[in-house]
């Protein structure tokens, strides 16, 4: 006899497996029925039903009477082991469109100046963009660029191009490397409104400092990323002992 505890554990396993398939794009918008899912995972219909309930609570699927179970918030993977822009990372999933809220020169705040190796008050370019895929917001990006590389970008197509590609093409340079830190934070009211989530929703806060091959810092960014829309991934290699 299957106990309630064992069924709950099995339901979590099925939910994990189905979530992985959804994130990987291995299933369409309409999930197979409970019987077919049970055959996939070797589980009873009661277990499958409980697993679907877990995914529904996450906002990943929804049940529609007469239709079935639909994927409503597919997640997209964004690798952290290569220096790529969002549009590059999501190639094949649709066009990433940027709502450019700010694009101007400003005096560098002390925290920005320190990261970019400048004196506080030196001129920098500030960009703020809400990045969308399929009309839905994925991230809110606040970017500060050194003036000599950032000012030439102000007349470019910031609404449809990745910043990394524009930096390289416009200035005839190659970017080198970036230092990245990722935190979990609660979205404040302003950030939540721009990302179309409830205030207090957990989001990824990603701090990134991008450098030229010679080590010069040129791009300091603070990103707030919807954790229900993007999965941050990396492939790590174990070094020699």
Q: What region does 196 belong to: left with phi over 0, alpha with psi -120 to 50, or beta?
A: left
Distance (Å) of CA 104 to CA 125, 129, 190: 6, 12, 20
Q: DSSP 3-state assignment of 39?
A: helix
Q: Which fold has domain 77-232?
A: Chorismate lyase (3.40.1410)
Q: Which fold has domain 4-71?
A: Arc Repressor Mutant, subunit A (1.10.10)
End-to-end CA distance of the chain: 48
Span(s) in the chain for CATH 3.40.1410.10: 77-232
Span(s) in the chain for CATH 1.10.10.10: 4-71
pTM for the model stands at 0.70
Q: What is the pLDDT of residue 1?
A: 47
Instruction: Give the DSSP letter string of 170-217.
Output: HHT----EEEEEEEEEEPPHHHHHHHTS-TT-EEEEEEEEEE-TTS-E
Print pLDDT tens along the chain (241 aa): 457 788 889 999 999 999 888 877 688 778 999 999 999 999 999 999 999 999 988 878 888 888 889 887 666 777 777 787 776 777 766 788 899 999 999 999 999 999 999 999 999 999 999 999 878 899 999 999 999 999 999 999 999 999 999 999 999 999 999 999 999 999 999 999 999 888 998 999 999 999 999 999 999 999 999 988 888 888 878 877 6
């Amino acid at each position: 006899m299957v106990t309630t505890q064992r069924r709950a554990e099995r339901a979590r396993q099925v939910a994990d497996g189905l979530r992985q398939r959804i994130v990987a794009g291995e299933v369409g918008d309409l999930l197979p029925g409970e019987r077919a899912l049970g055959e996939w995972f070797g589980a009873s219909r009661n277990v499958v039903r409980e697993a679907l309930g877990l995914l529904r609570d996450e906002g990943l699927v929804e049940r529609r009477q007469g239709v079935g179970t639909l994927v409503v918030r597919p997640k997209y993977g964004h690798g952290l082991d290569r220096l790529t822009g969002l549009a590059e990372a999501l190639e094949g999933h649709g066009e990433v469109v940027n709502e450019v809220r700010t694009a101007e020169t400003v005096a560098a705040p002390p925290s920005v100046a320190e990261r970019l190796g400048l004196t506080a008050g030196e001129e920098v370019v500030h960009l703020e963009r809400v990045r969308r895929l399929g009309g839905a917001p994925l991230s809110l990006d606040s970017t500060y660029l050194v003036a000599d590389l950032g000012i030439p970008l102000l007349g470019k197509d910031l609404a449809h191009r990745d910043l990394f590609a524009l930096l390289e093409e416009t200035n005839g340079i190659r970017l080198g490397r970036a230092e990245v830190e990722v935190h979990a934070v609660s979205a404040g009211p302003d950030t939540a409104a721009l990302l179309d989530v409830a205030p207090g929703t957990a989001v990824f806060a990603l701090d990134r400092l991008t450098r030229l091959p010679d080590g010069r810092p040129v791009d300091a960014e603070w990103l707030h990323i919807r954790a229900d829309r993007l999965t941050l991934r990396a492939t790590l290699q174990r070094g020699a002992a």
